[in-house]
Structure 1
Amino acid sequence: MSTPAFQIHRLPQIDADQRHALADLLIDCVEGGASVSFMHPLAPERAHAFWHGVAEGVARGERALLVAEDALGIAGTVQLVLAQPENQPHRADLAKMLVHRRARRLGLGEALMRAAEALARDCGKTLLVLDTVDGSDAERLYRRLGWQSCGVIPGYALWPQGGLCATHVFYRALP
């Protein structure tokens, strides 16, 4: 069995260099057409501001951030939104699973998802939810990994270059 070309780990805090690398990753994904809440072109200042907010949530323990690094640096990431309403302490939202275009089709997305599920279990979570663009590569990955479909919401968001896209909502009960 070969060793993966990337390492996944949890960031307990996000320093300036990591925030810069994460901003570059987000910009790459938006440039590549990913509908991840931002429009193209994504200004570096806006990407940095987003990751600054994530860093604050990580520092408060409201979010967990996993990153995958390859020889060139951060190549992927995924977040678990751990802070939920008081009647949902068993649940977390999986958010912003991003894989740099240089690292796609290498198993990194699947590895990030498996790591996020393991981390959620470690945090005492038994239910995960997420949404993704309907018909996307990510949707196919989630289905392959056993996530259950809740349905599709048409016209939910805009593609980075404009035009409406539908979102597909999924959940996964963790054993």
Structure 2
Amino acid sequence: MLISDKRNIHIEELKEANNIAVSDLVALTLDIVQGRASVGFMQDINEEKASEFWNNVLAKVQQEKTVLLVAKDSSSDQIVGTVQLQIDLPQNQPHRAEVAKMLVHSAFRRLGIAENLLQHLELIAKKMRKSLLVLDTVTDSPAHALYLKCGWKVVGNIPNYALFPNGTPCSTTYFYKNLE
């Protein structure tokens, strides 16, 4: 387990499915979508859909296709943040991985949790001999600013690439980071 010095939050790799973790991840997802973040879900998301999503992610974790990090509030052991490293890529791309679903609960934002999750994920990627990471996020969002702050390079923007939960189009920015 890796320890964070931010508001008694600790970061750990989640390797097994359990009902408490899935329940926390579902609650986190619903909080994010209710906050209008474009993270792949529409406003009609419910506990059942979110649970199905996280059970699928955890199946990929079990198959060693995805690394899943969670940030937990030490006082309650509740999951308040998460990020994924998707490593199941084509044979000609063994050197890279994709960062996905960086989520931090609205009550725990601006505490450095996302940056801490990202730093831990980059260390894991290096240990796995990944030299290139890629990700995408909503253009000009707080996450966009975070990735710039953390040394990620902009590839470009695609207008109207995705939708906010209410159906409004949003621009997406692609980033990369060399780990060597």
Give TM-score scaled by structure 1 length: 0.97
Q: Take 1:15 and 1:59, find their aligned partners in 2: how far apart are those partners?
A: 12
Unaligned 5+ runs, structure 2 = none
Amino acid at match of 1:34: A
CA distance in 2, matches of 1:129, 1:9: 22
Which residue matches 1:3?
Answer: 5
Question: Is contact 1:31–1:41 with CA below 8 Å preserved after alignment?
Answer: no
Q: How many residues align?
A: 174
Match of 1:25 in 2: 28
* Counterpart check, 1:79 vs 2:84: yes
Secondary structure, aligned partner of 1:146:
coil
Give the counterpart of 1:156 among 152, 161, 165. Answer: 161
Distance 1:86 1:19 in 2: 31
Specify which of 117, 121, 127 is matched with residue 126 of structure 2.
121
CA contact under 8 A between 1:127 and 1:172: conserved in structure 2?
Answer: yes
CA contact (8 A) 1:131 1:168 kept: yes
Q: CA deviation at 1:133?
A: 0.1
Q: Distance in 1 between matches of 2:151 and 2:141?
A: 16
2:39 maps to 36
Normalising by structure 2, report the TM-score.
Answer: 0.94
Match of 1:108 in 2: 113
CA contact (8 A) 1:64 1:79 kept: yes
Equivalent pairs: percent with the same residue?
45
Cα RMSD (Å) of the superposition? 1.1
Residue 89 of structure 1 pairs with residue 94 of structure 2 = yes
2:28 & 2:126 partners in 1: Cα distance?
Answer: 27
Unaligned runs of 5+ in 1: none
C-alpha deviations, 1:31-66, integer Å up to 9, x for none? 011100000132100000000100110000000000
